Amino acid sequence: MNYSRATDLLCIFIIVILMVFTGQTSAAEDDVLLNGTGIYIETGDAWTFEQGYSFVIRGVNEDNSKVWVDLWLDNNNTQDMIMQPGEMFVYSTSSGEILNITLDSIYYGPEGELVMFKPVYQYLDPELPEPSYIGTEDINISTNSSSEPKGDEDYKVSGFEISMTILCLLFAILISRKKEF
């Protein structure tokens, strides 16, 4: 088997490229606090997000076609909007998009209105303190969601895990080729 220095350089180049792209991917994944889930809120109630944000349903019009919503941050009203199904509520700061919430449906019943928002995204606001769970495992991201543990079907392989696996395989190949000579 013919072994050359070019093979070593190629392996090192691939490892460096993987490490660079892996760092960018994992940082972006850490910024997502809520990733496309659906939430239900009754009229007059609020959904509490991480970092002190609250999304309030102020009211629904008479024909149940529009919803008046408010976004609060630490007891300060930051933005309000009248929404129709399919419309997006987007809250951004100078750092970028923080919340992206789409009105899905409005349900009316004898007890009042129930509003469904889906998909809902929350991104880390770098201007505010990080949630205390960042960097820990098995944390329930939203204060309003279920506390049931996730099963294996919810496990997703991250870019970092894939890159590290490839890195280990390349390293093993490099070592095994050197031992042959």
Q: What is the pLDDT of residue 11?
A: 61
pLDDT beyond 80 at 6? no
Section 62-91 average pLDDT: 95
**pLDDT of the residue at 146:** 39
Structural domain count, the chain: 2
Evaluate if pTM is beyond 0.85.
Answer: no
pLDDT band (50, 70, 90) for residue 166: confident
Average pLDDT for 65-84: 95
Residue 92 lies in a domain: yes
Q: Are residues 55 and 74 in the same domain?
A: yes
Domain shared by 36 and 26, yes or no = no
Predicted confidence (pLDDT) per residue in 14-28, tens digit: 665 655 555 444 345
Question: Based on the domain organization, do 24 and 39 belong to the same domain?
Answer: no
pLDDT for the residue 109: 85
Look at residue 110 in the predicted model and tell me its pLDDT: 84
Whether 27 and 43 map to the same domain: the answer is no
Asked if residue 18 and residue 69 are part of one domain, the reply reads no
Between the alpha carbon of residue 14 and those of residues 10, 11, 18, the distances in Å are 6, 5, 6
Residue 22 placed within a domain: yes
Pairing state of beta strands 53-60 and 76-83? unpaired
- Give domain status of residue 153, yes or no: no
Q: Are residues 20 and 95 in the same domain?
A: no
CATH of the domain at 87: 2.60.98.40
Structural domain including 164 reads: 1-31+158-181
- Average pLDDT in the chain: 78
